[in-house]
Structure 1
Amino acid sequence: MLSTHPTDVQNSGLRYLSSSSISPDQRSPNQELLPLTAKANSRDSLEIGGCDVKTLVEQFGSPLYIVDEVTLRTACRQYRDALTHYYQGESLVLYASKAWSCLAVCAIVHAEGLGVDVVSGGELYTALHSGVSTDKIYFHGNNKSNAELDLAIEVGCTIVVDNWLELNTLATLAEEREGIRIMLRLTPGIECHTHEYIRTGHLDSKFGFDPNVLEDVFALISKHPKLNCIGLHAHIGSQIFESQPHKDLAGVLVDFLSKASQYNLPIQELNVGGGLGICYTESDDPPSIDQWVKGVCEAVIAACEQQKLPLPKLMCEPGRSLIGSSCVTAYTVGSRKEIPQIRTYLAVDGGMSDNPRPITYQSEYRALVANRMSAPLTETLTIAGKHCESGDILLKEAQLPKSEPGDILVVMGTGAYNYSMASNYNRLPRPAAVLVKEGEADLIIRRETYQDLIRLDHLPVGLALAED
């Protein structure tokens, strides 16, 4: 868990830096508020990946997503190595790319031996162009279009079938082809304590086949030999700190696997989904990656022994716990509004268009002033975005030093569902993103321009303004 600092530095941004003697590659990234390489340098500035954050903003502008390559690769390796250590059968980690889909991130996880989970034609296209092999791409979604299914079939990735319409469509398409590789998504009926909108394992969910129709599904597939059903999948939610729901899920999936064997289906893979949470605040206490994987592996092994089944290929789909803690967002401080005895607002140059999670999920974050790491915390501030929306608030009651226009405010843990859910609300260009490592910064997403904002607009001839 996040280590705290001695009392003499509790009143500064230094309190968020780990004081643990454990080497960075042994710390679980999802239990850290800042990337593993974060430190305060001799200029009293936050440094990530050997790069001064203030200098990065001067070079690339703000808001700016800063991705630490070491933290991302460490999380990938911890998942991969833990599965190898605790599970005697074959295994594969898939990156849930909906957390952040771009060429660079997909290329890194691919280089670490992971596959990629995609949920749209666009994510599939991105994974393909980043070099991910099709046998390691799994295509999810509850309402895939015919064009998306055609693309998935053409490239040969595994299609995770979500419902009857999709299953029947694929059964028809399979007759015209050599075969289609599919996996079934099931609703296991397991609930966990997380936000209502990111809880997907309970029965009242738009995702997956209900357990009561499972044998009908198996029966239909058994009549279509060109539908190559290789596995079962379930996902119970996101930002989960509890271990028991995932252990329960293992037993449910193995029970489903036992029923599938009665229909002579070639099911060899079990995908337990993802959902492991990360630290957004000091009070968050998620299991480590190693602890989570260990619990899942032991539960699957025990369930298979009870059912007298051989161990299937075990898969999981972390997203947030891979990329979330690897990234911070740097903003430039702007205007200030003091309302005596009520609140003080401090505005930054971004907000809900680059991080919609606070206004969508009431998500909490932590922040620090990156260019004055040792400055004492003297103010309680509400950090407001610049959008024309009263609810555009990034942080409430943030403890910060006395801040001035031009200061660099860093919000932590913004790798998951920030860029991927970013918008052009109020026609703000989306931010740039840089990848940092060993003092080098590489642009992985360029900052949008005003020209980008109107690139797809079309002005009918009759509406064109006449020149003066």
Structure 2
Amino acid sequence: MLMLKEHFSVNSLGHLVVGRLDAVELAERFGTPLYVVDEQRIRERYRRFYRAFSSQWSEARVHYALKANSNMAVVKVLQSEGAGADVSSETELRIALKVGIPGEKIVFNGNYKTQRELELAILNDILINVDSFQELEAIDKIALRLGKRARIGFRINPDIRADTHPYIAVGLRESKFGFDVISGQALAAYKRAKEMSSVEILGIHANVGSQILDAAPFVEEAEKLMKIVSEIKERFGIDLKFVDLGGGIGIPYKPEDRELPPEEVAEKVVGVVRRVVQEKGLEKPTLLLEPGRFIVADACVLLARVGYTKERPGMPDWVAVDAGMNALMRPALYGAYHHIELANKMNQRNEHLVNVAGPLCESGDFLGKDRKLPKVEPGDLAVVFDVGAYGLAMACQHTAQPRPAMVLVNGDKAEVVRKRETYEDLTRLDQIPSWLL
């Protein structure tokens, strides 16, 4: 079944077109395996997401989640659109700063932030969403030493069950993230912070998970967050400036998946926020959103060259391509589905049942199983869709395979935005001890 989203097309040769460029020609020009990112699609998705919320709530800010794809060119595209950043490591933080996102538009999340990361965040006036009491104490001490007031919010654990893979369901009470609400830890954290001289309490944050295609968990999250916002005002006299709803809106990966429009989420979530603000007489907070996958996932494809095919009587043929779980981890790690076609045979009927595998020494090294494609031959070009989020970001060097190159396409222009790794790249940090020389 051909599953082609609106920003792709097929030319007269039957080849996939990304932007205005032939995918087959891109593979020949830049080699494979190759990530290809459509800049205009990223811009379209960002603008749609931003409009969805800003049209409902004037004080809404979008902080792109760099964990989805931290390539500097991708982040620069979003910076040029006015996006802020959601970061979870020193490198992501430095990338955001380097492309021109100011510290006050960066949010730092995560359950373990090192002393060095906290220092960098405090010095750059970044909003730190605190994840534990010990981290709160560390922030206060570092800020005192630096002569700064750290800008903080608290990540709370809302105990919300979302229909997604358990590894990316991060809002459950048993997950490692955030202050527990049920036991009273969340409110206790605000009470403790109010006693500190070197922190400025600005916000509250939660995240229910990733790849969610139902608005209900986001509505439940908003209800629980705003209940705590009201309690914080009532008990401690603190009007929170930021209510950070995190990210999590998914995309259709499978032909049968239903899209969750951000407009639907925005209308329902903002409805909750507006009602509670009015009922409780709260100051109007700025809503922070942290989308990643929604913005970049379907803007990118992975091109992989077919090397060999292998028949197994009574079973799907095996198709070996030059990209595997080293280039795209999600199928092996999550059992995730990514749609696959042949970029050079888009007009041919998908009638042959195959498994598409990579070159690694693992049975789990596959990109898709039980897929129907045209008759596959060596030299064909497989295209794996929807890989812009957690594709290259999770790539590895299993069996010393170099990670792929990435090109950015803008209309009929294309440039490398991440070079292909080489033998020298993979070995430059290795050292042989003196006694073996």
TM-score category of the 2 structures, normalised to the smaller one: over 0.9
- 2:98 counterpart (119, 123, 129): 129
Matching of residue 395 in structure 1 with residue 368 in structure 2: yes
State the AA in 1 paired with 2:3.
Y
Is the deviation greater in 304-313 or in 270-279? 304-313
State the AA in 1 paired with 2:86.
D
Within-5 A mapping of 1:84-99 = 84-87=54-57, 89-99=58-68
| Correspondence for 2:320 | 347
Matching of residue 103 in structure 1 with residue 72 in structure 2: yes
Q: Deviation digits for residues 268-289 of structure 1, max 9, x if unmatched? A: 1101111011111111113112
Answer yes or no: is the 8 Å Cα contact 1:228–1:266 preserved in 2: no
Q: Deviation digits for residues 424-460 of structure 1, max 9, x if unmatched? A: 1100110000111111101111101111000111112
| Correspondence for 1:218 | 190
Q: Deviation digits for residues 283-306 of structure 1, max 9, x if unmatched? A: 111311222222222222123223
Partners of 2:215 and 2:279 in 1: how far apart? 21
Report the 3-state secondary structure (helix = DSSP H, G, I; strand = E; otherwise coil) of the residue aligned with 1:62.
coil
Matching of residue 309 in structure 1 with residue 278 in structure 2: no
Matching of residue 164 in structure 1 with residue 136 in structure 2: no
Within-5 A mapping of 1:372-391 = 372-391=345-364
Matching of residue 284 in structure 1 with residue 253 in structure 2: no
Report the 3-state secondary structure (helix = DSSP H, G, I; strand = E; otherwise coil) of the residue aligned with 2:288.
strand
Report the 3-state secondary structure (helix = DSSP H, G, I; strand = E; otherwise coil) of the residue aligned with 2:55.
helix
Partners of 2:123 and 2:75 in 1: how far apart? 21
- 2:178 counterpart (182, 204, 208): 208
Partners of 1:302 and 1:404 in 2: how far apart? 60
Partners of 1:266 and 1:459 in 2: how far apart? 58
Within-5 A mapping of 1:110-125 = 110-125=79-94
Partners of 2:262 and 2:226 in 1: how far apart? 22
Matching of residue 198 in structure 1 with residue 168 in structure 2: yes
| Correspondence for 1:234 | 206
Displacement of 1:70 in angstroms is 1.1
Report the 3-state secondary structure (helix = DSSP H, G, I; strand = E; otherwise coil) of the residue aligned with 2:157.
coil
- 1:81 counterpart (45, 51, 57): 51
State the AA in 2 paired with 1:335.
Y
Partners of 1:196 and 1:265 in 2: how far apart? 35
Displacement of 1:74 in angstroms is 0.6
Answer yes or no: is the 8 Å Cα contact 1:276–1:286 preserved in 2: no
State the AA in 2 paired with 1:249.
E
Matching of residue 40 in structure 1 with residue 27 in structure 2: no
Matching of residue 150 in structure 1 with residue 101 in structure 2: no
Displacement of 1:114 in angstroms is 1.0
Within-5 A mapping of 1:18-37 = 34=5, 36-37=6-7
Within-5 A mapping of 1:410-429 = 410-429=383-402
| Correspondence for 2:21 | 51
Partners of 2:266 and 2:326 in 1: how far apart? 34
Is the deviation greater in 303-312 or in 375-384? 303-312
Task: Give the share of equivalent positions with the same residue, in percent.
Answer: 37
State the AA in 2 paired with 1:71.
R
Report the 3-state secondary structure (helix = DSSP H, G, I; strand = E; otherwise coil) of the residue aligned with 1:397.
strand
RMSD: 1.2
- 2:152 counterpart (178, 182, 193): 182
Displacement of 1:166 in angstroms is 0.4
Answer yes or no: is the 8 Å Cα contact 2:317–2:353 preserved in 1: yes
Q: Deviation digits for residues 163-184 of structure 1, max 9, x if unmatched? A: 1110011122232323111111
Answer yes or no: is the 8 Å Cα contact 2:122–2:143 preserved in 1: no
Report the 3-state secondary structure (helix = DSSP H, G, I; strand = E; otherwise coil) of the residue aligned with 2:230.
helix
State the AA in 2 paired with 1:153.
I
- 1:365 counterpart (338, 343, 349): 338
Partners of 1:178 and 1:290 in 2: how far apart? 39
- 1:267 counterpart (240, 243, 247): 240
Partners of 2:187 and 2:266 in 1: how far apart? 29
Displacement of 1:328 in angstroms is 0.6
State the AA in 2 paired with 1:122.
T
Partners of 1:16 and 1:287 in 2: how far apart? 17
Displacement of 1:154 in angstroms is 2.0
Answer yes or no: is the 8 Å Cα contact 1:434–1:444 preserved in 2: yes
Q: Deviation digits for residues 170-205 of structure 1, max 9, x if unmatched? A: 122232323111111000111111111100111111
Partners of 1:249 and 1:411 in 2: how far apart? 33
Report the count of equivalent residues: 433
| Correspondence for 1:31 | none
Matching of residue 459 in structure 1 with residue 432 in structure 2: yes
Q: Deviation digits for residues 90-114 of structure 1, max 9, x if unmatched? A: 1101111100102111111111111
| Correspondence for 1:23 | none
List alignment gaps of at least 5 residues for structure 2: none
State the AA in 2 paired with 1:50.
R
Answer yes or no: is the 8 Å Cα contact 1:186–1:232 preserved in 2: yes
Partners of 1:338 and 1:377 in 2: how far apart? 17
Displacement of 1:266 in angstroms is 4.8
Answer yes or no: is the 8 Å Cα contact 1:250–1:303 preserved in 2: no
Partners of 1:216 and 1:281 in 2: how far apart? 43
Report the 3-state secondary structure (helix = DSSP H, G, I; strand = E; otherwise coil) of the residue aligned with 1:371.
coil
Q: Please, what TM-score do these two structures have when normalized by structure 1? A: 0.90
Partners of 1:402 and 1:267 in 2: how far apart? 60
Partners of 1:281 and 1:98 in 2: how far apart? 23
